[in-house]
Structures are given as C-alpha cells and as structure tokens.
Amino acid sequence: MALWVRSAVRALRLWGRGGEPTWARRHRIVGGGTPTACSAGVSSAFGNGGAGKEEKLCLRDIAELIGAQARQRVVVMAGAGISTASGIPDFRSPESGFYSTLQHWDVPYPEAIFELSFFLDNPRPFFTWAKNMFPGNFKPNVIHYFLRLLHDRGLLQRLYTQNIDGLERASGIPGSKLVEAHGSFASATCTACGKPSPEQDFWAAVMADRVPRCAACAGLVKPDVVFFGEALPERFFLHLVDFPTAELLLILGTSLKVEPFASLSEAVRSSVPRVFMNRKAVESLRPRSRDVVQLGDLVDSVERLVELLGWTEEMRDLVQRETSKLSRPDR
Ligand code: CNA
C-alpha cells in the first residue's frame, strides 16, 4: 500500500504548460462554462441530499448548513486569493498578479521562474522573488482566521492549500488539518545530495542575495515548495479519503488553473454543496446544481458569511487575540 502510494505520488506532477498526468486526464474538466451567480435569499431544505431538486442554494443556505453543526466535514480548497489581503500578490490577476510584473525579469515566460529545469539552470529570479516571502513579512488576514474558526468549531475536515506562504499555519490551524499541496518555505533541501538545509542558513543566504548552497556538497539548495515538474507531497493523497466523505466544499481565491489540485473540485459527491468564492468566475469549474458562486472581494464575501453565521463577535475576538500574539516582539 505504502509503496503503491509512493509510486503514485511520483506519477502526479504539477503542470503548467506541458502534458498532463493520466490521473488528471481522467479527472479532466471538459467544457466547463461560467457558473451562475448566487441569487440572494433563496432557502432550501437540507438533509435529503437534495441533488435531484435543482434548488438554487445561496450563501444564507450555506450559513445554515454550517451553523447546523450536524455537518462536520467541511473541506476547503484555497489559493493565492486568500492571501492578497495580507499583501502577497497572486499570480494571475491581470494588473496586480506577479506574472504581470515579470517583463523586466530574466525569464523567458512567467511560469519559468517556478519550473525545476529553469531553476537548476538559473535560480536567481526565483530567489529574488523568494526574498519577499521571508517568514514574518506577512500576517494572516480575516480569511485565514475564518478557516481557523471552522477548525476551532470542529467543522474543518481538511484545508487543502496551494499557498506556500505558511499563513494557514500562522493563523493557528494545526498541521494535521492542513495539506500544503504545493509545499512551503518551512524547510529546504539540497538539489544535489538531498540533505536538508537548516532554515536559518537558507534564509541568511537568500536575504543577502546569495544563492543558498549545501554545507555538505555545495549543491544548490531549494525550499521545499513544489515546482512545475515536481511531485506533490504524499499528504496530498489524503484527498482520496477527504473528498468522497466531504459534506461541504469551500473553494476560495483560486483560478483553478494548476493541476492536479484544480481537479479536486470535482472529487466531492454531486449532492455536496460547493461554495466558490473568488473575485471572478473561472471556466474550469463545471457547474453543478448545488453550487453557490459568490463573486467579488473575498474579504467582503467571508465577512458576509461570518455575519450570516452569527460569528462576527467571535471572529473579532479571535483576530484581535491572534494579531496581538503575532505582533509581540518575540515573534
Ligand atoms: P492564481 O492563479 O493567481 O489565482 C488567484 C485567484 O484569486 C484569481 O482568480 C483572483 O481573481 C483571485 N483573487 C485574488 N485576490 C482576491 C481577492 N482579494 N478576493 C477575491 N478573489 C481574489 O493563484 P492560484 O492559487 O489559483 O494558483 C496556484 C499557484 C499560485 C500555486 O502554485 C501557488 O503556490 C501560487 N501562489 C501562491 C501564493 C501564496 O502562497 N500566497 C502567492 C502567489 C502565487
């Protein structure tokens, strides 16, 4: 079993431009189309699956569903859009996204900066970008704390994030509830000998504009973030359990462009409501009858949901408590 999982993990690859792995092709979203927006005020009954009824769910219904506490298996998929309010640009937003600012960088096309083959040849552009991701540079925002509240209330089955900024952890969500599908900056490894590199050595080099080198073999050290062309962490395979048993799927702040992560949105049962909150609709989310699509700024959408849940005060307390903890001089 373990060997099977391990070899299957190797078969999974992130891709941006090239071919897709078989697993992802099997789960390919064909066609797609823009999901319809949520029409406020529509209520519906829960508990019977309701898939055949074609009822249009709304954010209020989702609040009722979460608030009912009978459902404890909320699975979340998150992307760069949950961290833009913390000051970290996403990749693909047309004017503010990182890819739109790359014309003066020494890269042939935007994705190259996160491709392993390009990195091994020319790591400088990546490390120039990485400098900005120094731990503590950014703080969790209200969206991270909403997810933390889901956890505190025993509702969070798992949070699958594409983000590598570590803000989910910084918000206090335990590692057992997280799948950092694209890795993180929390550790680094030598690309030549495979030896782990101490975090402080890695950051000392990056912040001094040096390419980090392995103390043992002088090989190029890379943080354990997943580049295009690399295997996903084994924890990603928790999706095989989490998604078929999920009772609600929240998809927050992602363009759903990177596979195999994006196809997870199809892995919940068809009777399970999916809530897609993003600035704009994405074509790759194949519409289902129990989808709720909440377009606009994610902070506004999350605050609205928190209000509908009656959690506003609890949320305010949590944010205050955690923010003061994180701004203590010893942090
Ligand atoms: P993306 O392709 O850049 O898409 C982000 C999505 O979020 C877009 O559809 C935006 O419209 C939306 N969005 C941005 N800000 C807001 C907002 N305030 N309110 C509502 N919607 C908003 O990023 P994805 O996450 O989909 O792509 C996956 C890549 C991005 C992963 O490999 C990540 O590692 C990578 N990434 C991570 C970070 C981070 O860790 N914070 C930052 C930038 C990129």
Strands (E) in 229-299, as ranges, are: 248-252, 274-278, 291-295
Residues 6+ apart with CB under 8 A from 176: none
- Write down the pLDDT at residue 107: 87
Residue 92 φ/ψ, nearest 5 degrees: -105, 0
> How many angstroms is it from 252 CA to the middle of ligand 1?
9
Task: Tell which atom from ligand 1 comes closest to the C-alpha of 164.
Answer: 40
> How many angstroms is it from 34 CA to the middle of ligand 1?
18
Q: Is 281 in the pocket of ligand 1 (CB under 6 A)?
A: no
Choose the residue to mutate in 90, 113, 230 for probing ligand 1, maximizing ligand atoms within 8 Å of C-beta.
Answer: 90
Task: Tell which atom from ligand 1 comes closest to the C-alpha of 99.
Answer: 3
Question: Across the chain, how many H-helices and E-strands are there?
Answer: 11, 9
Q: Is 88 in the pocket of ligand 1 (CB under 6 A)?
A: yes
> How many angstroms is it from 183 CA to the middle of ligand 1?
15
**Whose CA is closest to atom 25 on ligand 1?**
79
Task: Tell which atom from ligand 1 comes closest to the C-alpha of 254.
Answer: 26
Choose the residue to mutate in 91, 111, 116, 252 for probing ligand 1, maximizing ligand atoms within 8 Å of C-beta.
Answer: 91
Please state at what angle helix 142-152 crosses helix 312-326, rounded to 10 degrees: 110
Q: Is 298 in the pocket of ligand 1 (CB under 6 A)?
A: yes
Task: Tell which atom from ligand 1 comes closest to the C-alpha of 282.
Answer: 9
- Write down the pLDDT at residue 166: 95
> How many angstroms is it from 89 CA to the middle of ligand 1?
8
Catalytic residue list contains 239 = no
> How many angstroms is it from 28 CA to the middle of ligand 1?
21
Q: How many CB atoms lie within 10 A of CB 277?
A: 26
Task: Give the largest CA-CA distance in the chain.
Answer: 63
> How many angstroms is it from 163 CA to the middle of ligand 1?
8
The predicted model scores a pTM of 0.86
- What's the burial of 213, exposed, middle or buried (CB within 10 Å: 0-12/13-18/19+)? middle
Q: What is the pLDDT along the chain (331 residues), one digit of tens a residue?
A: 221 222 233 323 333 322 333 323 322 222 223 334 444 333 333 333 444 455 689 999 999 888 886 657 999 999 999 999 999 999 999 888 988 888 777 788 888 999 999 999 999 999 999 999 998 899 999 999 999 999 999 999 999 999 999 999 999 999 999 999 999 999 999 999 999 999 999 999 999 999 999 999 999 999 999 999 899 999 999 999 999 999 999 999 999 999 999 999 999 999 999 999 999 999 999 999 999 999 999 999 999 999 999 999 999 999 999 998 887 766 5
